[in-house]
């Protein structure tokens, strides 16, 4: 039930040459043939667009949790057994069948968006099919995401699952009753993982046990699953209120809590003793190929782990030089490491309360929105909210996290801010984090993409990590243009977070391809950046849990910055940053090679 596998993680790792090549001019020599070819290409495009619609509808039916995330309510009562052998086999065949249908139509004569849709669909389907060779299903639980945590986010009433009508409440009764089935499958899969030597690192699963403990309560009324009853709409009839209250109490007491207790007992008593003391994916059978595959998918490039590692080292050195300039500006005397310690320990950089932190973040919205029109000509319509990360997962969660809005606009985008260990959440870090997660970062890019109604749904809801996370990091670089980073410490916060993404290239590849340990990663982080122990530990364990995911940010940002610099140089006075940003975002998330082709064509058109 992880969100990432449910969404189409579209990946094209090589340049799509056809997107950038103009069609040959045959008008003067063979006008009838040209017209016939154009007509044939249009018919092919129409047929493919019809297939994409049919595919997406069938895909949502197979993935009802994704349907709920998108705002499609048709399957809100359903919850397939995602981890079962039958479901996995059917999913692979589903992709193979749809790939055959689309390839059966072919791409001859397609241009522009039609060609791009075809290339992305077929490449993604092939990548998804290839991913079945790796046994991720044997390790379905870690401290970052699991069915257990996602179920609470859905069933507590604060997530994507709606609780507005009586039917909504009945839908969750049906869906929630399926959770024990999924837990049982995950336990069986983890047992197969033990037998095959494919198990999670011990350090991750030690964090899972207290997460489960925080969710298990003796009384249904004390669980997070009671939230919908507490907040039941007043307009419900007395009969419905009584029926639903009794039904929820029974489901929580007799189905959900026993299932959570069973999962907790298995993890603690059977699985933990069989977990491994190593950390890298490369330490598992076939792990080197698995990690290389993950790196390729995450970055949408052909860069090897070794190449990515070196890029990270080079960027760390460059950003350290920029930080030295900030030290000079504020008159700090001492080493870079001394400065790191100073900004981490001086009380003036701390929020006094959770309320003060949340108020500060919410105050950034109006300030930044004033300057947005100077940088962007297209602004998404979907609203967003700022919420604290829920207590049950805050200890292991990242500093910030974004959840997209529903397609119909009834559910806003959500920027989750982590308030755990409040002294570690620095004031100098806030502006940068807001730019990344909210405006003009993830909310701007993802909401804009969802609103592209002329684009096939499989692309509107795709996750291209290198593009999306690269854009988020690039958005951080716009701070001064958007009226923030007005003091040197906030600008240092930007440099610190850019540095952090460079460190990710070093540490992720170190963990999963060079034999680095968790302690080595934490030490490298602390020696080279202004990071707290809380953040260093959480981030190191995040990289262990999600091999390759952290590579997307810096690789994507470097490409976007490279393309902007190229456009500024070639266009000179004709360069308009608002046009550039629109060109980057207007087609949604695309592989980096496709993005480069798009910008090259835009530059050529501007030059005339």
pLDDT at residue 462, as a whole number: 83
Predicted confidence (pLDDT) at residue 94 exceeds the cutoff of 80: yes
Average pLDDT over residues 293-321: 96
Strands 400-403 and 413-417: antiparallel
What are the structure tokens assigned to 535, written together?
A: 């953040």
pLDDT at residue 428, as a whole number: 95
- Give the Cβ contact number of residue 100 at 10 Å: 10
Burial label for 195, CB within 10 Å (0-12, 13-18, 19+), is exposed
Kindly report the three-state secondary structure assignment for every residue of 467-515.
Answer: HHHHHHHHHHCCCHHHCCCCCHHHHHHHHHHHHHHHHHHHHHHHHHHCC
Residue 535 and residue 522 in contact, taking contact as beta carbons nearer than 8 Å? no
478: which residues sit within 8 A by CB, 6+ positions away?
375, 435, 440
pLDDT at residue 35, as a whole number: 56
Average pLDDT over residues 308-323: 98
Percent of the chain predicted with pLDDT > 90: 82
> What is the rounded CA–CA span in Å between residue 68 and residue 77?
10
pLDDT at residue 394, as a whole number: 86
Reduced to 3 states (helix: H, G, I; strand: E, B; else coil), residue 234 is coil
Reduced to 3 states (helix: H, G, I; strand: E, B; else coil), residue 548 is coil
Q: Which of 233-237, 533-537, 548-552, 600-604 has the lowest mean pLDDT?
A: 533-537
Residue 584 and residue 463 in contact, taking contact as beta carbons nearer than 8 Å? no
pLDDT at residue 406, as a whole number: 85
What are the structure tokens assigned to 581, written together?
A: 């940003």
> What is the rounded CA–CA span in Å between residue 135 and residue 297?
16
Percent of the chain predicted with pLDDT > 70: 94
Reduced to 3 states (helix: H, G, I; strand: E, B; else coil), residue 388 is strand
User: In this predicted model, what pLDDT tens digit does every residue of 151-202 receive, in sequence order?
Assistant: 999 999 988 999 999 999 999 999 999 999 999 999 999 999 999 999 999 9
358: which residues sit within 8 A by CB, 6+ positions away?
386, 388, 417, 419
**How distant, in Å, are the alpha carbons of 206, 270, 388 from that of 277?**
12, 16, 33
User: Which is more confident, 180 or 460?
Assistant: 180
**Confidence class of residue 38 from pLDDT cuts 50, 70 and 90?**
low
pLDDT at residue 100, as a whole number: 98
Residue corresponding to tokens 């749904």: 457
Alpha helices in 106-165 (DSSP H): 112-131, 147-155
pLDDT at residue 210, as a whole number: 95
DSSP symbol at 352:
S
Q: Please measure the distance between the N-terminal and C-terminal CA atoms of the chain and give it in whole angstroms.
A: 49
> What is the rounded CA–CA span in Å between residue 211 and residue 513?
29
User: In this predicted model, what pLDDT tens digit does every residue of 47-85 receive, in sequence order?
Assistant: 999 999 999 999 999 999 999 998 899 999 999 999 999
Average pLDDT over residues 224-252: 98
pLDDT at residue 6, as a whole number: 32
pLDDT at residue 375, as a whole number: 97
83: which residues sit within 8 A by CB, 6+ positions away?
137, 140, 182, 185, 186, 189
């Amino acid at each position: 039930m992880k969100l990432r596998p449910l969404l189409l993680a579209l990946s094209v790792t090589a340049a799509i040459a056809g997107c950038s090549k103009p069609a040959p001019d045959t008008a003067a020599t063979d006008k009838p043939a040209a017209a016939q070819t154009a007509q044939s290409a249009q018919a092919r495009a129409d047929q493919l667009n019809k297939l994409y619609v049919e595919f997406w509808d069938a895909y949502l039916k197979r993935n009802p949790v994704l349907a709920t995330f998108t705002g499609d309510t048709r399957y809100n009562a359903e919850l397939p057994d995602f981890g079962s052998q039958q479901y996995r086999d059917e999913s692979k065949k589903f992709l193979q069948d749809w790939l055959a249908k689309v390839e059966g139509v072919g791409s001859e004569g397609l241009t522009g968006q039609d060609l791009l849709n075809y290339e992305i669909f077929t490449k993604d389907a092939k990548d998804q099919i290839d991913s079945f060779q790796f046994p991720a299903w044997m390790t379905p639980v870690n401290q970052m995401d699991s069915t257990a945590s996602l179920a609470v986010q859905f069933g507590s009433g604060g997530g994507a699952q709606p609780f507005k009508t009586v039917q909504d409440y009945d839908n969750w009764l049906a869906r929630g009753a399926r959770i024990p089935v999924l837990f049982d499958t995950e336990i069986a899969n983890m047992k197969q993982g033990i037998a095959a030597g494919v198990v999670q690192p011990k350090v991750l699963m030690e964090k899972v046990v207290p997460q489960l403990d925080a969710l298990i309560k003796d009384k249904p009324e004390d669980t997070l699953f009671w939230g919908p009853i507490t907040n039941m709409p007043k307009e419900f009839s007395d009969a419905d209120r009584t029926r639903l209250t009794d039904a929820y109490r029974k489901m929580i007491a007799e189905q959900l809590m026993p299932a959570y207790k069973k999962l907790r007992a298995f993890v603690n008593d059977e699985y933990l003793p069989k977990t491994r003391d190593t950390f890298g994916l490369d330490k598992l059978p076939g792990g080197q190929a698995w990690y290389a595959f993950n790196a390729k998918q995450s970055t949408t490039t052909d860069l090897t782990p070794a190449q990515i590692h070196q890029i990270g080292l080079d960027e760390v050195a460059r950003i350290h030089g920029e930080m030295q300039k900030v030290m000079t500006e504020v008159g700090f005397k001492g080493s870079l490491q001394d400065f790191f310690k100073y900004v981490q320990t001086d009380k003036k950089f701390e929020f006094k309360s959770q309320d003060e932190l949340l108020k500060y973040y919410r105050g950034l919205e109006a300030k930044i929105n004033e300057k947005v029109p100077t940088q962007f000509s297209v602004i998404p319509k979907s609203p967003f909210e700022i919420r604290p990360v829920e207590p049950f997962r805050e200890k292991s969660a990242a500093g910030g996290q974004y959840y997209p809005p529903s397609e119909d606009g009834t559910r806003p985008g959500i920027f989750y801010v982590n308030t755990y260990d409040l002294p570690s959440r620095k004031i100098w870090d806030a502006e940068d984090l807001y730019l990344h997660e909210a405006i003009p970062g993830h909310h701007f890019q993802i909401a804009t993409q969802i609103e592209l109604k002329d684009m096939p749904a499989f692309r509107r809801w795709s996750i291209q990590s290198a593009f999306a996370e690269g854009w988020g990091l690039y958005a951080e670089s716009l701070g001064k243009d958007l009226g923030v980073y007005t003091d040197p410490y906030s600008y240092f916060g930007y440099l610190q977070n850019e540095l952090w993404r460079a460190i990710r290239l070093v540490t992720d590849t170190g963990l999963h391809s060079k034999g680095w340990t968790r302690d080595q990663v934490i030490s490298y982080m602390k020696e080279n950046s202004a990071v707290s122990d809380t953040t260093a530990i959480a981030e190191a364990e995040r990289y262990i849990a999600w091999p390759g995911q952290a590579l997307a940010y810096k690789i994507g940002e470097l490409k976007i910055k490279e393309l902007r610099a190229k456009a500024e140089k070639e266009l000179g006075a004709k360069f308009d940053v608002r046009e550039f940003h629109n060109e980057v975002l207007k087609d949604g998330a695309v592989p980096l090679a496709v993005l480069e082709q798009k910008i090259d064509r835009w530059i050529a058109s501007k030059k005339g």
